[in-house]
């Protein structure tokens, strides 16, 4: 007889299969990367084509969690990185805009220092299925 863990696993499996099916049917399936390709404490940018157009986004892997944002500073609208995949400050604890050194919390994208203090980066939803990372665009 299956236990409670089996029920949770089955529920996740059904949700994951439904999500993949929905993504395939709408043409939105884009696997960005595998979790193994994004080590803890790193960041990586991607350019993706979505049904609503081109999107530049980036991922941050911090404290065993993944965070994704559009690569656009709320102050200037320009990209945050000036070197590919370099979105974090030297300590690796904040997202840093290369244009004017604004600093953003990784966990919620809120600017804590710089000309856009109090504003936030635009988050991107993610789904992880079989260690593959998929952005979900509405």
CA–CA distance, 86 with 42 (Å, rounded to integer): 8
**Residue 1 included in any domain:** no
32-71 per-position pLDDT tens digit: 666 778 889 999 998 887 777 888 999 999 998 999 999 9
**Residue 68 included in any domain:** yes
**Residue 35 included in any domain:** yes
| This prediction's pTM | 0.76
The residue range of the domain holding 130 is: 30-136
**Residue 88 included in any domain:** yes
CATH number at residue 74: 2.102.10.10
**Residue 21 included in any domain:** no
Question: In terms of pLDDT, which residue wins out, 109 or 37?
Answer: 109
Closest by Cα among 118, 120, 107 to 64: 107
CA–CA distance, 59 with 133 (Å, rounded to integer): 10
Say how many domains are in the chain: 1
């Amino acid at each position: 007889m299956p236990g409670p863990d089996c029920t949770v696993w089955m529920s996740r499996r059904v949700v994951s299969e439904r999500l993949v099916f929905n993504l395939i049917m709408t043409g939105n399936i884009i696997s960005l990367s595998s979790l193994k390709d994004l080590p803890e404490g790193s960041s990586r940018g991607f350019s993706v084509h979505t049904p609503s157009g081109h999107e530049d986004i980036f991922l941050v892997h911090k404290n065993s969690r993944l965070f994704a944002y559009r690569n656009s500073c709320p102050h200037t609208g320009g990209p945050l990185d000036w070197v590919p995949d370099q979105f974090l400050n030297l300590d690796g604890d904040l997202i840093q805009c290369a244009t004017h050194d604004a600093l953003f919390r990784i966990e919620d994208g809120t600017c804590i220092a710089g000309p856009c203090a109090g504003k936030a980066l635009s988050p991107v939803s993610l789904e992880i299925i079989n260690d593959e990372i998929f952005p979900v665009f509405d």
